[in-house]
Amino acid sequence: MKTHTLLFALAGICAPFSASSAVTDINQDVSIDWGMDAYLQAFSVTPDAGENQHGYTSRFKMTANLLLDDGWSINTRWQAYYDWSGDRRHSGGSGTNFTDGENADGLSLDLGYLQYAANDWIFRAGRQRADWGYGFNIENDRRDRLLAMKSLSYGQSNSVSVLGIYDLRFAEKELDTTYDVYDDVHMYALAAVGKHGIVDWGMLWAYFDGGANNIGDPSQGIPQQGYGIDYFHNVSPFLTVNLDALQLRSGVNIILSDSNETRGKYTTWGDDSLAGFIEASYSITPNVTVQAQGIGYVDGGLVGRGFDTYSGLINNSDRNDPSPIARQYFGGLGHEGNDGQIYAARLDWQMDDALNIKVAAGHMSISNHLGNGQDTEAQFVDAKALYAWSKHTNIGMQVSWANEDIDDLAVMARINIRYH
């Protein structure tokens, strides 16, 4: 994925009006950009012990953007889902992936923001999408945000964009409990992305700041309430180098915690931590690419739940489109001694214009998983096939297997239809 795609996705800026979009002119001053997207998928998970799990999920999206000739636009996307509960709340945590054995359906405002764009500036307010670092930091997140961005070009094809974000996710008190402990959390971020010759790069700094009584008070015997994130810096650079047939890319997440006993030291990134990955992709032919990556974290380092580990059972389940076959989280929440490694390789074969096949294998090990004192280890094999039925429709099949402490076999099929 190119840097500019990452930038646009980070802020939900991605060209809301692409060339393939359906744009209807109402008059000379107003037009509507619209599109639809839907998938149906069925899955089955067979564990070594316990009962088989199988089911069906669906998602339907409709985009409608009102474009005005004065630089302003209203951008919306509605999402209907079945047996799913995702990251769609104004405030609160990241939501839950699936219901507890009970079917659920509903309708949510997936995206909704006002935008003003002029003279290489973009200003936005409202619910936006965020991705960063190829999903290693965050993938397909939805939050209410304020954003400002300025883009500059230099040389023949070089560019840099700088943006600032204020995250409204916790601007209101989140929990109504006996203890007034989750009070007024704010997130501020500055980021830059750029392209210079063969290098694409990005740098993100974010800080989570909370109220004086936030996240419990050990001296008073007040426990942490819920999933607490507060008082820490997140520094997250990424880099891609394109060398003809060889591409190298990497990303790092650094957590520097300001949490202490006075502020109510807690377990969610309450200590410093580190995570990183490096991936090499080499095109043997225009249709065959081999990939290899190493991923690691120490002291509970942050790894995005949507990050592609090459296994459908490990991560590969982003915040707003969770996977029903994901069974293992690789990453941490800031616990000391919680370390992990993945080493994996994959073959990507574009057999013809319609059919793509990916086959992967790897090894995962985790010590003191999420601070629970348990170690987790597994080898995995994964195979995926994607068939382009037409330019609007594709059909996919995935088989994921892992042994030892994961010990699951999963199969998932999907049909996806989209028009934008």
Strands (E), 316-420: 339-350, 355-367, 376-388, 393-402, 408-419
Predicted pLDDT at 270: 72
Q: How far apart are CA 160 and CA 154, in angstroms?
A: 8
d(CA 196, CA 280): 20
Residues 251, 323: Cα–Cα separation, whole Å: 23
Selected residue with higher pLDDT from 141 and 394: 394
Q: What is the pLDDT of residue 98?
A: 43
Distance CA 277, CA 295 (A): 4
Dihedral-angle region of residue 126 (phi above 0 means left; psi in -120 to 50 means alpha; beta otherwise): left
Largest CA distance in the chain: 66
In the predicted structure, residue 215 carries a pLDDT above the cut 60: no
Taking Cα atoms as reference points, which of 284, 301, 188 lies closest to residue 245?
Answer: 284
How confident is residue 49, by pLDDT bands cut at 50, 70 and 90? confident
Of 41 and 2, more confident: 41
181 to 66, 174, 215, 225, 270: CA distances (angstroms): 41, 9, 5, 7, 16
- Check pLDDT > 50 for residue 91: no
Confidence of residue 319 (pLDDT cuts 50, 70, 90): confident
pLDDT at 170 over 80: no
Tell me the domain boundaries of the chain. Answer: 3-419
Give the CA count within 13 Å in the CB-facing half-sphere of 382.
Answer: 26
What pLDDT score does 325 carry? 93
What is the predicted pLDDT for the residue at 266? 54
Asked if residue 53 has pLDDT above 90, the reply is no
User: What pLDDT, on the 0 to 100 scale, is given for residue 240?
Assistant: 98
- Distances in Å between the Cα of 320 and the Cα atoms of 38, 45, 110, 408 are 14, 21, 9, 24
Distance, in Å, from the CA atom of 279 to the CA atom of 165, rounded to the nearest integer, reads: 29
Q: What is the pLDDT of residues 357-371, one digit of tens each?
A: 999 999 999 999 988
Task: Look at residue 22 and tell me whether its pLDDT is greater than 50.
Answer: yes
Which DSSP symbol is given to 335? -
Whether 396 has a pLDDT exceeding 90, the answer reads yes
Residue 87: predicted pLDDT: 41
pLDDT band for position 89 (cuts 50, 70, 90): very low
What is the pLDDT averaged over residues 266-280?
84
- Measured between alpha carbons, how far is 339 from 362 in angstroms, rounded to an integer? 17
Q: Which CATH number fits domain 3-419: 3.30.420.40, 2.40.160.100, 3.40.50.2300, 2.40.50.140?
A: 2.40.160.100
Distance, in Å, from the CA atom of 37 to the CA atom of 52, rounded to the nearest integer, reads 30
pLDDT value at position 368? Answer: 93
- pLDDT reported for residue 142: 82
